[in-house]
């Protein structure tokens, strides 16, 4: 059974908020958009009233100038209407663009930018009259209806009050010359915008936190939804873990395949094993081609012995290389000297087996800094 609204008491999780944003469900305030658009239009009107009134007067005067031939033409009226349409478009389009841009900017400022076509996709479930009645009488719809009714009542009252105060001035415009009437009407419109903007600002101040609260309530989750989401996330984490394990397995196979190509393997004597390779023509320093601990170390040893790769017991160096050297990377600079000693010993040993030089003595003491040995560091910490 679907969870009822009473069961949804938990705030929306980040995942649900992200999915809601992808579907276009973000908090929006119409009152904030109205306030921003009308304010921008009013400011633009104030900025261009002096030049705009004179421009409108000149445009009207030009449109009323015609000769006998123009007056008797069959398309005289349509030509004048076309000219006046262009004039009105030049007057209206800039205001519309300013108001639209500010409305969009206010929406982005409140809920952020989101681009999706999902709200436009048909929802045939919305045609169900039973569920439609539930949406009509929902908490959010009732609050929005009440808010818009109050806003309409306030704006209507302000308009009636303004008309009652300026009715005589509006009637007097009919007796003024056209240029004076245009300038006077512009001034009255600008003066009447003040109370309207103040009312819209008050409603926007109330509506912004209200819409955010309603949006948060709409996305609340039940305990069952939260558990289901956690199961889905755990399933995703399990899949990702399997992928990582598979990648580790493939990397381990590549590492084991590189052991027979190594020059030597350093061990400790069974817990750690590090395979090293050096080519003076392509490498600036010896490189770690494989490393491992415990069972992996024993497998590296067996592969090395099967491929006739020398295996040397150098516990301190093996521990230091295992702890500080990265796979398929050059050994740390602090271990260059010790690794060089081991490589030199191996090269002498191979030459002795070929009968080119005498058999070398035992492996000399290696120059391994104690601070690179994890056993020494652990002992010093205790």
Lowest mean pLDDT among 174-178, 242-246, 290-294, 344-348: 174-178
- d(CA 121, CA 112) in angstroms, rounded, equals 21
- Report the pLDDT value the prediction gives residue 341, as an integer from 0 to 100: 85
- d(CA 321, CA 287) in angstroms, rounded, equals 11
**Is pLDDT above 70 for 175?**
yes
**Is pLDDT above 50 for 6?**
yes
Lowest mean pLDDT among 6-15, 40-49, 187-196, 271-280: 40-49
Q: Residues 134-169: pLDDT tens digits? A: 666 677 778 778 888 888 898 888 888 888 887 887
Domains identified in the chain and CATH numbers: 8-66+75-113+126-221 (no CATH), 257-381 (3.40.1690.10)
Q: What is the mean pLDDT of residues 321-340?
A: 88
Separation in Å, CA 191 to CA 162, 175, 366: 10, 21, 93
- Report the pLDDT value the prediction gives residue 19, as an integer from 0 to 100: 80
Q: CA torsion, points 327, 295, 373, 261, in degrees to nearest 10? A: -40
Q: Any long-range contacts for 184-188 (C-beta under 8 Å, 24+ apart)?
A: 186/45, 186/49, 186/52, 186/53, 187/49
3-state secondary structure of 330: strand
Q: What is the mean pLDDT of residues 323-344?
A: 87
- Report the pLDDT value the prediction gives residue 273, as an integer from 0 to 100: 92
Q: What is the mean pLDDT of residues 107-128?
A: 67
Contact at 8 Å (CB) between 293 and 281?
no
Average pLDDT across the chain, whole number: 78
Whole-model pTM? 0.44
3-state secondary structure of 150: helix
Lowest mean pLDDT among 20-24, 80-84, 281-285, 340-344: 80-84
Lowest mean pLDDT among 42-46, 148-152, 345-349: 42-46
- Report the pLDDT value the prediction gives residue 30, as an integer from 0 to 100: 80
Q: Is 26 or 291 the better-scoring residue by pLDDT?
A: 291
1 pLDDT tier (thresholds 50, 70, 90): very low
**Is pLDDT above 70 for 241?**
yes
**Is pLDDT above 70 for 22?**
yes
- Report the pLDDT value the prediction gives residue 379, as an integer from 0 to 100: 66
Q: Any long-range contacts for 13-19 (C-beta under 8 Å, 24+ apart)?
A: 13/221, 13/226, 13/229, 15/229, 15/233, 16/219, 16/221, 16/229, 17/219
Q: Find tokens 């841009």 and name the residue.
A: 101
The proportion of the chain whose per-residue pLDDT surpasses 90, expressed as a percent, equals 4
117 pLDDT tier (thresholds 50, 70, 90): low
Tokens of 365: 């003491």
């Amino acid at each position: 059974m679907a969870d009822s609204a009473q069961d949804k008491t938990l705030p929306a999780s980040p995942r649900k908020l992200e999915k809601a944003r992808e579907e276009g469900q973000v908090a929006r305030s119409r009152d904030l958009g109205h306030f921003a658009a009308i304010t921008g239009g009013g400011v633009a009107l104030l900025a261009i009233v002096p030049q705009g009134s004179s421009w409108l007067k000149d445009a009207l005067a030009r449109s009323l100038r015609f000769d006998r031939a123009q007056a008797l033409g069959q398309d005289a009226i349509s030509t004048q209407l076309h000219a006046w349409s262009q004039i009105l478009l030049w007057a209206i389009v800039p205001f519309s663009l300013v108001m639209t841009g500010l409305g969009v900017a206010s929406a982005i400022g409140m809920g952020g930018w989101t681009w999706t076509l999902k709200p436009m996709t048909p929802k045939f479930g919305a045609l169900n009259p039973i569920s439609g009645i539930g949406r009509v009488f929902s908490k959010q719809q009732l609050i929005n209806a009440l808010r818009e009714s109050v806003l309409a009542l306030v704006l209507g009252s302000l308009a009636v009050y303004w008309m009652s105060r300026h009715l005589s001035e509006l009637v007097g415009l009919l007796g003024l010359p056209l240029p004076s009437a245009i300038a006077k009407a512009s001034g009255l419109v600008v003066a009447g915008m003040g109370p309207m903007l103040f009312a819209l600002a008050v409603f926007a101040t109330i509506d912004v936190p209200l819409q955010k609260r309603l949006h948060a309530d709409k996305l609340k989750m039940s305990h069952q939804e939260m558990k289901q989401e956690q199961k889905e996330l755990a399933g995703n984490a399990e899949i990702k873990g399997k992928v990582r394990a598979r990648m580790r397995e493939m990397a381990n196979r590549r590492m084991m395949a590189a052991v027979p190509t190594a020059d030597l393997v350093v061990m400790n004597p069974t817990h750690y094993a590090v395979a090293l390779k050096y080519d003076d023509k392509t490498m600036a320093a010896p490189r770690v081609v494989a490393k491992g601990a415990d069972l992996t170390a024993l497998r590296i040893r067996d592969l090395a012995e099967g491929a006739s790769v020398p295996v040397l017991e150098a516990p301190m160096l093996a521990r230091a290389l295992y702890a500080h050297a990265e796979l398929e990377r050059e050994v740390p600079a602090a271990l260059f000297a010790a690794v060089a000693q081991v490589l030199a010993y191996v090269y002498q040993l191979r030459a002795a087996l070929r009968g080119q030089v005498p058999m070398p003595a035992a492996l000399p003491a290696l120059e391994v800094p104690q601070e690179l040995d994890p056993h020494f560091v652990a002992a010093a910490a205790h």
